[in-house]
A and B are shown apart, each in its own frame.
Chain A
Amino acid sequence: MAESAKKGAEDEGGEFADFMADISQEIAQRVESLDAAAAPRKTPEPPRKPTPTPRDSGLILEWENLADRMIEDMR
């Protein structure tokens, strides 16, 4: 893009053309670097790990025992 900007400016003649050629190239390079800095990063997302289930979460694991106790109490 910077080279095409310079070539386009060179189509004009004289001192102004030389100035335009240099400045066009400089602006093109500057805009490219700013664009690159502004672009969102495209790093791949890390694979999601499944949420670990706690082995001992209390009530659920003890459910059978609890039910047994309730049945026992009802007797």
Chain B
Amino acid sequence: MSVVNYGTREITCKIVYYGPGRSGKTTNLQHIYSQLPEERKGKMVSLATETDRTLFFDFLPLDLGTISGFATRFQLYTVPGQVYYAATRKLVLQGVDGVVFVADSQKRQLAENIESLQDLHANLADEGFDPRTIPLVMQYNKRDLPADEISSIEELDEVLNFRGVPHFAGTAISGGGVFETLRSIASMVLSRLSAPAAKDA
């Protein structure tokens, strides 16, 4: 859980990008990484298979420097979307502070989106989180594809966003909606920051 650590003067938040395979989770992180000024660029760890799919996870430490006297770090993770990496997805969710669900807007991917969302809820519950309250934003990615191939935002919202959380249209390949999504989830996570003396669940 994200905590303002007064002892070490640190704020650390863990954000996980979740979603079905090939929805654009890694592309989101790659765009963020590409926009970082040189002095802030750490290492983006990406473990991919021979077919270029994320095997384990991507990890992008986002060092925001010292803000109000606190060394502030966001740790961005992706999970492998392919269904057979269930154990890894569960592992990456440990200690998560906020989730970005990256949905593939293609009509033919709707069932995969739903399955991945159900998988997210099950894994969050298994890890002791309440899927109804954990900070979550939706990104409907690949909005640049032809209109007849993709579901409308309203349709996706109807099927996937039953919590009514903030949602964003994404074209992660060109950076569209990437930082808007990150800003939204970061804001939600920060609003839950607690001092050690007043921890919440």
User: Which A residues form the contact surface with B (CB < 8 A)?
Assistant: 1-2, 5, 12-16, 18-20, 22-24, 26-28, 30-32, 34, 37-38
Contact = CB atoms under 8 A, between A and B. Distances in A.
Given A16-B36, A20-B64, A26 B190 contact: yes
Task: Determine which residue in A2, A12, A16 has the highest number of CB atoms from chain B within 10 A of its CB, and name it.
Answer: A16
A1 B194 CA distance: 19
A22 B36 CA distance: 15
B118 interface: no
Interface of B: 4, 6, 11, 32, 35-37, 40, 64, 67-70, 72, 175, 178-179, 182-183, 186-187, 190-191, 193-195, 197-198
Contact of A31 (B4, B40, B183, B197): B4
B198 A27 contact: no
A23 B35 CA distance: 16
Chain A interface SS verdict (over half): helix
A2 B178 CA distance: 25
8 contacts: A2-B68, A5-B67, A15-B175, A16-B40, A16-B179, A23-B186, A26-B190, A27-B67
Contact of A24 (B32, B64, B197, B198): B64
B187 A31 contact: no
Nearest to B175: A15
A18 B72 contact: no
Contacts of B190: 23, 26-27, 30
B3 to A, nearest CB: 10
A27 B72 contact: yes
Contacts of B64: 20, 23-24
A39 to B, nearest CB: 11
Given A14-B35, A38-B197, A30 B191 contact: yes
A24 B183 CA distance: 11
A15 to B, nearest CB: 5
Contact of A18 (B37, B68, B179): B179
B193 A34 contact: yes
B72 A37 contact: no
A34 B36 contact: no
